[in-house]
Structures are given as structure tokens and as C-alpha cells.
Amino acid sequence: MLFGNVIGQHEIKRQLTKSARSGNIPHARMITGNEGTGKLAIAIAYARYLCCTDRSEEDSCGRCPSCIKFNKLVHPDLHFAFPIIKNDKKKKETCDDYLKEWREFVLKNPYFNYNRWLDFIDAGNSQGLIYTRESETIVHRLNLRAYESEYKTVIIWLPEKMHELCANNLLKMIEEPPANTIFLLVSEAPDMVLPTIRSRTQHLHVPPIDKEAIGEELKKLAGAGGQTFDQTDIKRLIRLARGSRIRLEELLENTDSSRESLELFKSIMRSGWERNIQKMRTNSDKFAAMGRERQKKFLSYANNFIRENFFFKLNLPEINYLNKEEIEFAEKFSEYINENNVISLIDEFTTAEQHIESNVNPKTVFFDLSLKTAILIKIKINHGHRI
Ligand SMILES: [Zn+2]
């Protein structure tokens, strides 16, 4: 991971390289920002830059002994802590036990989020945590002398997932680390990090990736996946990605499934409008056959689509996130979404999502949802009471 591999973020790179070259290096930084903006990639590129023995003004050299170890994330002065699942059977209890998976995952693509990481380590329904034992490991390692490079770096990915004891144990170390030790806390929810830790770090906010860089990335990803888009679609995808490489990837993965979702959505709304119970049943069967992940995706798609239809009539191009087929449908359908039913409709789809999450029978969930929708879309704007 070089700065050159970080998508966009020129200002952040400039700030970090400048601070490193001036020798004015804060011993603890909290790197924050939304998911998919490149925080982890930036933290690794920065740690590498600090250790590189032949760096240029903009980047590490990529060839010195330190860089070669960073290529595989095996530098002995680079330490990671990240949420894990304790698995007694597989004897996986610490981050070290997951280091092989972690390196493989980060090296493949450093733009990922908590859920993708947990999926990768087969977490199932368990929640990932940075356990107390990690703080002991970190303290122990940092008390040893630096063996190779001038700096030791500890990258804590998602410090908000630290067990409270772990955070408390690290407090003193973060406040007064041994010489040439740098803490980089990469957080998506800094408000959930112990305030005493937060106040001991220098804050670096990573903004969404700029549109031009996202556009370049879109070309690369679409090219690799053999997908082609026209100019309108490109603009829409860039806007929808909202500066996140993760969202962009999801959008590209979902282009086919959105089509399927739109068809099902149309069908529910039509069966509701016609009060066609038989069609509602058929749709419920279709929904039940989709599998849980697709069901959740559909419900979240529908939720978003209802919201978009509410805004559709406002006709503001900058908030219109719909594609061609969706716009065609919205031309008429948006008439049925108004201030008297939009909240209730969104609530019903959200409830359905929660029910699917907690394993309620999908046929029942979907059938109920169809009935409620049928009633809700007939609610009209009450012009007499508009303010
Ligand atoms: Zn180097």
C-alpha cells in the first residue's frame, strides 16, 4: 500500500507526507471518515512512508528493505489490532491468530467495511470485538526496543469496537508512548471511542473521495467486470457512490439485482392497487424463494425507492438517484407517494426488514407488507389541510 494506491485524497496525502518530512509527527492520530473513503489504506501508506529509507516527496520508494516487508504487511515494526471473533474450537483467540487472513484480505483490497471483514472470517451472527488481550500484546510489544525501522506503528482498525478494558489499558500508552511509537486509530464512529482516548489523539478527517477519482475508479471496475455504461448512468453512479469506493463496488455488483428488485416492487404496488390477493400470494412465494440476503436487499431497495419517489416530484437533478427504468416507473408512481403516507410506507418496509433479520417467516412478512401497502398507497394528499 503506497500513497499512490490510495484513490484520490490528494490533500490528505500532502498533509501526511509534509508532516512526516518535517519530523513533526504526532504520536497518536485518529483517522476518521465514512466507510470506503480509504482511511485504512491511508494509515498503512503513512506508516510505510515513515519507515521508508528512500522516500520521495510524495511517496515511499517501494524497493527498500522496509518497503519490501510492507508489500506483504510483514514488517516487524508494524502492528495491527482489529475486531475478531473468538473461536475456541479453531483456537482463534487473538488478532495474531487472524493475521494471515487479515493480511490476505487487506492486500487484496483495503477498501472494505466491518461486515465484509466479518463475512471473510465466517463470523456468522457473532459480533466482532477487539478484546482486552490485544492491549496486553500491544503494550508488551511496544516495550521491546524497535528492531528495524525508526518508527513502530500500531494501526487500530475500528477502535470503537474495543472492549472497554482494552481501551483503558491502552490509555496510558497512547498518552505517553515509548519513543518513536505511533498510534493510528482508524475509526468510523469516533463518538463511540472512549473520550479519554479521543482527546489524546490528533484528529485527521478523511473526506469522501472526489468525483473525478471515483469516476476513474468506476472506469477501472466496470472495465474489469465487462460492464458498459452510458454517460447518464456514469453520472448517476458517481453521485450514488457518494465518495465511497465500497458503495461504488456495491452499486456495480447490484446493477442486475436492482432490475429484479424493481420488477418485484412494481408487482407489489400493482397488486396492492388492484387489491389482487392472488397476485399478492404469488409475489410472497417469489419473495420467500429469494433467500434471506436477497430479501433484505430487496426491502432496503424498496425503502430507498419510495424515498426517491417522494423527492421525484421536486424535480431536482442533484437529488435524483434513479436510473432510466426507475424514472419511467416513477413518472406515474410518484403521484401515489405523498406527505401523508411516505413515513408509514418507509416504516412498514423497515419493519419487514427487521422481521426478516429476526427470522420471521418470509411469506407472512411479505403478505402482510403487501396488504399494508395496498391500504397506504390509496391515501391521498389532503389539500384542504395543507399548511
Ligand atoms: Zn522504501
CATH number reported for the structural domain that contains residue 314 in this entry: 1.20.272
Calculate mean pLDDT across residues 89-114.
94
Alpha carbons 308 and 301: distance in angstroms, whole number: 10
CA of 335 to the centre of ligand 1 (A): 60
CA of 179 to the centre of ligand 1 (A): 22
- pLDDT, greater one: 68 or 258: 68
Same domain, 43 and 173: yes
Domain boundary among 221, 253, 285: 253
Q: Provide, rounded to the nearest whole percent, the portion of the chain with pLDDT above 90.
A: 70
Same domain, 224 and 286: no
CA of 304 to the centre of ligand 1 (A): 46
Same domain, 248 and 260: no
pLDDT number for residue 228:
85
Same domain, 165 and 49: yes
CA of 128 to the centre of ligand 1 (A): 34
CA of 49 to the centre of ligand 1 (A): 7
pLDDT number for residue 386:
43
Domain boundary among 199, 223, 253: 253
Based on its alpha-carbon atoms, the radius of gyration of the chain, rounded to whole angstroms, reads 25
CA of 4 to the centre of ligand 1 (A): 13
pLDDT number for residue 174:
93
Same domain, 104 and 37: yes
pLDDT at 318 over 70: no
pLDDT number for residue 190:
96
Same domain, 126 and 89: yes
Same domain, 55 and 148: yes
Listed residue (183, 144, 230) closest to 28, CA to CA = 183
Same domain, 136 and 16: yes
Domain boundary among 183, 207, 231: 207
Question: Lowest-confidence range among 137-141, 225-229, 362-366?
Answer: 225-229
Contacts of 311 (CB under 8 A, 6+ apart): 319, 320
- Write the pLDDT tens digit of every residue in 336-361: 999 899 999 999 999 999 999 888 99
Whichever domain contains 41, its CATH number is: 3.40.50.300
Alpha carbons 248 and 229: distance in angstroms, whole number: 14
pLDDT number for residue 297:
86
The residue range of the domain holding 233 is 210-253
- pLDDT, greater one: 58 or 317: 58
Query: What is the pLDDT confidence band of residue 381, given thresholds at 50, 70 and 90?
Result: low
pLDDT at 387 over 50: no
The contacts found for 290-297 with CB under 8 angstroms, 24 or more apart, are 290/362, 292/356, 292/362, 294/257, 295/356, 295/362, 296/353, 296/356, 296/357, 297/254, 297/257, 297/261
CA of 76 to the centre of ligand 1 (A): 15
CA of 99 to the centre of ligand 1 (A): 23
Q: Which three cell numbers stand for residue 350?
A: 423497515
CA of 61 to the centre of ligand 1 (A): 4
Same domain, 56 and 136: yes
CA of 54 to the centre of ligand 1 (A): 5
Listed residue (155, 157, 216) closest to 8, CA to CA = 216
Domains identified in the chain, total number: 3
Contacts of 100 (CB under 8 A, 6+ apart): none
Q: Is 214:243 a contact under the CB 8 Å cutoff? A: yes
Same domain, 260 and 180: no
pLDDT at 321 over 80: no
CA of 60 to the centre of ligand 1 (A): 5
CA of 70 to the centre of ligand 1 (A): 9
CA of 28 to the centre of ligand 1 (A): 23
CA of 47 to the centre of ligand 1 (A): 11
Query: What is the pLDDT confidence band of residue 40, given thresholds at 50, 70 and 90?
Result: very high
- Write the pLDDT tens digit of every residue in 193-223: 999 999 999 999 999 999 999 999 999 999 8
Q: Provide, rounded to the nearest whole percent, the portion of the chain with pLDDT above 70.
A: 97
Q: Is 185:201 a contact under the CB 8 Å cutoff? A: yes
Listed residue (227, 226, 140, 130) closest to 185, CA to CA = 130
Pairing between β-strand 78-81 and β-strand 28-32 as defined by DSSP bridges: unpaired
CA of 277 to the centre of ligand 1 (A): 68
Same domain, 158 and 229: no
CA of 23 to the centre of ligand 1 (A): 17
Q: How much is the mean pLDDT over the chain?
A: 91
CA of 15 to the centre of ligand 1 (A): 19
CA of 140 to the centre of ligand 1 (A): 27
Q: In one letter, which amino acid is 202?
A: Q
CA of 371 to the centre of ligand 1 (A): 63
- Write the pLDDT tens digit of every residue in 127-180: 899 999 999 999 998 888 767 888 999 999 999 999 999 999 999 999 988 889
CA of 65 to the centre of ligand 1 (A): 7
Question: Lowest-confidence range among 63-67, 100-104, 377-381?
Answer: 377-381
CA of 56 to the centre of ligand 1 (A): 9
CA of 343 to the centre of ligand 1 (A): 55
Q: At what angle do helices 211-225 and 231-241 cross, to 10 degrees?
A: 120
Same domain, 24 and 55: yes
CA of 101 to the centre of ligand 1 (A): 25
- Partner residues linked to 30 by β-bridges: 185, 203
CA of 190 to the centre of ligand 1 (A): 31
